[in-house]
C-alpha cells in the first residue's frame, strides 16, 4: 500500500494540493481557536503550526517557480529554506508597514497570525495560477518502511530527548552513553555496508544530526551557552512591546533570524522563546548536514556523502557551540542551500539565480560573520574560475576532467547536460550580494554590524606584520602550540590535525584525478578559498578570534568535509598498493571501513565519551554533570529574574560563567568580577550561581589580545563586607 509523498507536495496535482492545503489551514485555525478558548490539546498547536509555517510557504514558492521532480530531499530542504525567508520578510514588512497604518504591535499573535494567513492565500493563488499546467503524476511512498533500519533511525532523536531529560532530572547519563554508542555503530554499519542500505542514508544523517543536537540542547530547562542569552534578550525585547526596534545599536539586532524568525515561531506555535531555541532551531539546523550529504552525494556518491556529513556532525562545535548561536544555525542552513542550488545545473538559469540571490540575502540578514566569510570567499573563487577559463585548451581540459559526462543521480533523476557547463558563480551575483550586505549592515541597528566588521579588518591589518605568528594574537596558533592536559587529550589533538591533513590530500587528489572525483568547479574553487581561510585562522592575528577558531573550522567543514573522505580513500589506496597485507587487518578491508573506524574514533573523542569512560579530564557538556559550565538551573534563573525586578538598575557584578546568564536579563548593567575585590563599585550587587556557592569559587577571566585566560579565586573575597539580600539555595545575591 502506498500514500502520496508529503515530502513532495509541490508535485501533487493542483486540485488535491488545494484541498489538502486548505484542510491543514482550517485544522490549524481550529486548534489555535480551541487553545485560545482554554482547551489545549497537547502538541497539536505546536506540531501543526510548526509544519504549517516551516514547509507550506516554501512549497507554494516552489510551485510558483514551477520546480518539480526535485526528489524528496531537495523538496524538503528548499521548501524549509524558502519558508524561513517568507517568515522573515513577512515579519520585516509587518514591522515597517503596520506602524505607518497606526497599529503599533505587528509582533502580536493576532496581527501576525492573520498576516501569515493572508500571505499564504496570496502565495496559494500565485502558485496555482503559475503552475496551472502541471499534470505530472504524484509521487508516493510505501506505508510500511522499506527497510528494518527505518524505525531504529527514527528513534534516535527520541532516545536523545529521554537521555537529556534523565540527565537533567536525575544526573544519570546512561541513556546518553547508549545514544552515542548507537550513533558510532551506525557510522561503522555504513562503512562496513551492513544493516543500513543506501536508501536510508538521508534519514540516518538527519536522525544522527538531530539526536546529537538534542543530546546537548535539552540538558536543562533553560537555554545554555553564550551568545544565545543575548539573542533571547532581543527576542523578548520584540515580544514585550510587540515591535522590533530597528535602531538598537547592537550587531545581533540586525539579524532577522533572531528578531523576526524566533518571535514568529514563538507567537504562532505558542512556545516560549526558550523552547523555540531548544527544540525548533535544532530541527532546522539538522538540515545542514542533510544538505551537505545531498551536495556531496550528487557529485561523489552516496557513501562519501554520508561519511562527509558524519565527519561534519561529529566535530564538537556542531552540537556544543552552535547550540548557543541560534542566528548562525539559520545562516548555515541558507549557506548549505546556496551550495545545493549552485551545483544543480538541471534548473534553468533564471530559477537558479532567484534561489541563489534569495538564499544569499537570507545569509546576510541571518548572521553578519558567516555572510562576510561567504562574500569574501566568492571573489577569489570567481577569480580562480575566470583564470581557469583562460588557460590553454589542453590544460583546461585536464582541470575540467569528467565534468558534464552525463552522470546519473539515482536519488532524484538529476542529470548533467553532456558537454554543456553553465557557471553559476558569476560577478553580477557577487555584486548584488555585496550591495545588499552594504545597505543592510549600514542602515539597520545603527550600522554596528558594518562598524564591527570594519574594526576587525583594522585590527588584523594593524597587527599582521607587527606581531606575526604570535600565539597571543593568533588564536588558532595558540591552540596548536599549547600543551594538552593529558596524553589522551594529546592523542585527540593528533586526530584533529590528521583530519586537516586528509583535507589537503583530498583537495590535491581531486585536482590530479578530475576524471574520478567529479566535483563541480564552483564547489572546488570555493573549497580552495575556505582552505586558505582555515590556514588564516591559524596564522593571521585576530582573524579566528573574531568568531573562535573552532567555529571557523566548523564553517569551513561545510565545504571541506568531503575532501577529508577523498583524502582518506587516496591515502588508503596508496598504503594498500605498498602494503597489500593491510587489507587483512580487521577494520581495514576497504577504504570505507578504515574511514568509518577513524571517524567513529573522532566522534568518540569529540563527544567526550572516551574521556568520560577513562575519567581523564572530561569535556562533554552533556555527559559531565559537575564542573563549571554555562548550564544554569531553575534556581539560578529565578535569582536572575529577581535581580532584574529588584535591582533598580544598579551595577551587577558576576563572574565569567554566570555573566552569560545575566546577559539575557540586564545586559546594560552587569560587570565582570575583577581579580581585586576592592575595585567593585559601592552601591552594587554581586550575583553568585550554584557553582559559586557550592565550590565557594568564582571564575575570573583575563583576555590577552586574542587569547582568553581564566582562573578561580575564593568567592569569600567578594562577600566579606556585603549583605546577602537574596538566597534560594541555588543562587545568592549580595549588596553593598
Q: Which of 199, 211, 205 is nearest to 288 (CA)?
A: 205
Segment 258-274 mean pLDDT:
97
Asked if residue 445 belongs to a domain, the reply is no
pLDDT by residue (tens digit) across 628-656? 889 999 999 999 999 888 867 889 999 99
Which cell numbers in the block locate residue 450? 558594518
Task: Compute φ and ψ for 581, nearest 5 degrees.
Answer: -70, -10
**Residue 415: per-residue pLDDT:** 38
Segment 210-220 mean pLDDT:
96
Quote the CA–CA distance of 179 and 160 in Å, as a whole number: 7
Classified as helix, coil or strand, 365 is coil
**Residue 735: per-residue pLDDT:** 92
Q: With contact defined as beta carbons under 8 Å apart, do 91 and 112 qualify? A: yes
Asked if residue 325 belongs to a domain, the reply is no
Query: Residue 703 belongs to what domain range?
Result: 634-735
Least confident of 78-82, 368-372, 446-450, 590-594: 446-450
> How many C-alpha atoms does 547 have within 13 Å on its Cβ side?
28
Mean pLDDT of the chain: 88
Asked if residue 496 belongs to a domain, the reply is no
Asked if residue 411 belongs to a domain, the reply is no
Q: How confident is the model at residue 419 (pLDDT cuts 50, 70, 90)?
A: very low
Boundary of a domain, candidates 93, 114, 134: 134
Q: Exposure of 625 by Cβ count < 10 A (0-12 exposed, 13-18 middle, 19+ buried)?
A: middle
Q: How confident is the model at residue 30 (pLDDT cuts 50, 70, 90)?
A: very high
Segment 268-294 mean pLDDT:
97
**Residue 445: per-residue pLDDT:** 81
Task: Compute φ and ψ for 101, nearest 5 degrees.
Answer: -90, 0
Block residue for cell numbers 585536482: 511
Tell me which DSSP letter residue 408 carries.
Answer: B
**Residue 685: per-residue pLDDT:** 93
Count up the domains in the chain and report the number. Answer: 2
* Pairing of β 685-688 and β 140-142: unpaired
Q: How confident is the model at residue 345 (pLDDT cuts 50, 70, 90)?
A: confident
Q: With a cut of 60, say whether residue 420 has pLDDT above it.
A: no
Asked if residue 241 belongs to a domain, the reply is no
Tally of residues, the chain: 736
Name, in order, each residue with C-beta under 8 angstroms of 663's C-beta and a sequence gap of 6 or more. Answer: 229, 230, 233, 670
Boundary of a domain, candidates 94, 113, 134: 134
pLDDT by residue (tens digit) across 132-168? 988 777 788 887 777 889 999 999 999 999 999 999 9
Asked if residue 350 belongs to a domain, the reply is no
Asked if residue 73 belongs to a domain, the reply is yes
Asked if residue 431 belongs to a domain, the reply is no
**Residue 202: per-residue pLDDT:** 97
Boundary of a domain, candidates 134, 169, 199: 134
**Residue 465: per-residue pLDDT:** 46
Amino acid at each position: 500500500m502506498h500514500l502520496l509523498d508529503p515530502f513532495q507536495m509541490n508535485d501533487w496535482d493542483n486540485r488535491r494540493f488545494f484541498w489538502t492545503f486548505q484542510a491543514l489551514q482550517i485544522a490549524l485555525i481550529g486548534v489555535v481557536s480551541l487553545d485560545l478558548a482554554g482547551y489545549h490539546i497537547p502538541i497539536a498547536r505546536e506540531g501543526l503550526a510548526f509544519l504549517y509555517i516551516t514547509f507550506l510557504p516554501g512549497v507554494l514558492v516552489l510551485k510558483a517557480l514551477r520546480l518539480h521532480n526535485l526528489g524528496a530531499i531537495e523538496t524538503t530542504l528548499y521548501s524549509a529554506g524558502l519558508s524561513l525567508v517568507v517568515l522573515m520578510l513577512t515579519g520585516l514588512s509587518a514591522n515597517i508597514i503596520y506602524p505607518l497604518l497606526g497599529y503599533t504591535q505587528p509582533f502580536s499573535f493576532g496581527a501576525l497570525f492573520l498576516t501569515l494567513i493572508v500571505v499564504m492565500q496570496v502565495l496559494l493563488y500565485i502558485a496555482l495560477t503559475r503552475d496551472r499546467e502541471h499534470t505530472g503524476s504524484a509521487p508516493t511512498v510505501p506505508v510500511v518502511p522499506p527497510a528494518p533500519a527505518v524505525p531504529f533511525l527514527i528513534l534516535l532523536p527520541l532516545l536523545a530527548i529521554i537521555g537529556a531529560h534523565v540527565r537533567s532530572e536525575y544526573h544519570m547519563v546512561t541513556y546518553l552513553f547508549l545514544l552515542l554508542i548507537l550513533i558510532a555503530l551506525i557510522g561503522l554499519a555504513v562503512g562496513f555496508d551492513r544493516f543500513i542500505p543506501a536508501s536510508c542514508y538521508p534519514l540516518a544523517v538527519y536522525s544522527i544530526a538531530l539526536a546529537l543536537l538534542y543530546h546537548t540542547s535539552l540538558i536543562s530547562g533553560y537555554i545554555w551557552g553564550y551568545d544565545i542569552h543575548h539573542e533571547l534578550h532581543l527576542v523578548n525585547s520584540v515580544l514585550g512591546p510587540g515591535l522590533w526596534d530597528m535602531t538598537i545599536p547592537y550587531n545581533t539586532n540586525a539579524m532577522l533570524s533572531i528578531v523576526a524568525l524566533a518571535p514568529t515561531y514563538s507567537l504562532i506555535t505558542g512556545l516560549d522563546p526558550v523552547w523555540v531555541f531548544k527544540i525548533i532551531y535544532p530541527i532546522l539546523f539538522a538540515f545542514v548536514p542533510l544538505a551537505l550529504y545531498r551536495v556531496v552525494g550528487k557529485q561523489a556518491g552516496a557513501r562519501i556523502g554520508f561519511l562527509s556529513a558524519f565527519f561534519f556532525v561529529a566535530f564538537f562545535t556542531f552540537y556544543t557551540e552552535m547550540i548557543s548561536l541560534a542566528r548562525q544555525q539559520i545562516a548555515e542552513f541558507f549557506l548549505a542551500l546556496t551550495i545545493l542550488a549552485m551545483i544543480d545545473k538541471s534548473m534553468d538559469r533564471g530559477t537558479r539565480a532567484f534561489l541563489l540571490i534569495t538564499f544569499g540575502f537570507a545569509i546576510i540578514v541571518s548572521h553578519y560573520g558567516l555572510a562576510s566569510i561567504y562574500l569574501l570567499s566568492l571573489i577569489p573563487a570567481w577569480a580562480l574560475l575566470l583564470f581557469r577559463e583562460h588557460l590553454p585548451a589542453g590544460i583546461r581540459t585536464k582541470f575540467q576532467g569528467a565534468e558534464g559526462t552525463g552522470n546519473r543521480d539515482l536519488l532524484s533523476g538529476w542529470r548533467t547536460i553532456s558537454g554543456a557547463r553553465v557557471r553559476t558563480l558569476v560577478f553580477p551575483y557577487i555584486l548584488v550580494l555585496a550591495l545588499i550586505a552594504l545597505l543592510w549592515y549600514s542602515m539597520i541597528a545603527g550600522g554596528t554590524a558594518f562598524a564591527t566588521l570594519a574594526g576587525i579588518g583594522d585590527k588584523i591589518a594593524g597587527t599582521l606584520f607587527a606581531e606575526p605568528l604570535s600565539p597571543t594574537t593568533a588564536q588558532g596558533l595558540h591552540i596548536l602550540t599549547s600543551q594538552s592536559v593529558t596524553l589522551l587529550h594529546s592523542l585527540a589533538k593528533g586526530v584533529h590535525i590528521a583530519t586537516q591533513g586528509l583535507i589537503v590530500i583530498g583537495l590535491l587528489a581531486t585536482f590530479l584525478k578530475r576524471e574520478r572525483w567529479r566535483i563541480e568547479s564552483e564547489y572546488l574553487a570555493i573549497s580552495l578559498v575556505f582552505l586558505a581561510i582555515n590556514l588564516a585562522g591559524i596564522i593571521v592575528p585576530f582573524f579566528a578570534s573574531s568568531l573562535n577558531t573552532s567555529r571557523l573550522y566548523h564553517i569551513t567543514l561545510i565545504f571541506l568535509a568531503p575532501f577529508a573522505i577523498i583524502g582518506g580513500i587516496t591515502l588508503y589506496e596508496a598504503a594498500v598498493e605498498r602494503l597489500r597485507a593491510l587489507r587483512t587487518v580487521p577494520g581495514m578491508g576497504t577504504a570505507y571501513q578504515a574511514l568509518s573506524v577513524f571517524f567513529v574514533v573522532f566522534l568518540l573523542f569529540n563527544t567526550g565519551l572516551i574521556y568520560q569512560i577513562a575519567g581523564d579530564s572530561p569535556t562533554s557538556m552533556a555527559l559531565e554533570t559537575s564542573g563549571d559550565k554555562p548550564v544554569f538551573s531553575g534556581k539560578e534563573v529565578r535569582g536572575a529574574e529577581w535581580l532584574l525586578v529588584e535591582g533598580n538598575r544598579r551595577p551587577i557584578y558576576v563572574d565569567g560563567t554566570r555573566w552569560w546568564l545575566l546577559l539575557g536579563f540586564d545586559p546594560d548593567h552587569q560587570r565582570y568580577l575583577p581579580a581585586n575585590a576592592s575595585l567593585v563599585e559601592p552601591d552594587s550587587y554581586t550575583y553568585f550561581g550554584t557553582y559559586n556557592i557550592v565550590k565557594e569559587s568564582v571564575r575570573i577571566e583575563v583576555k590577552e589580545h586574542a587569547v582568553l585566560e581564566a582562573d578561580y579565586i575564593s568567592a569569600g573575597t567578594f562577600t566579606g563586607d556585603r549583605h546577602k539580600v537574596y538566597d534560594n539555595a541555588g543562587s545568592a545575591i549580595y549588596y553593598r
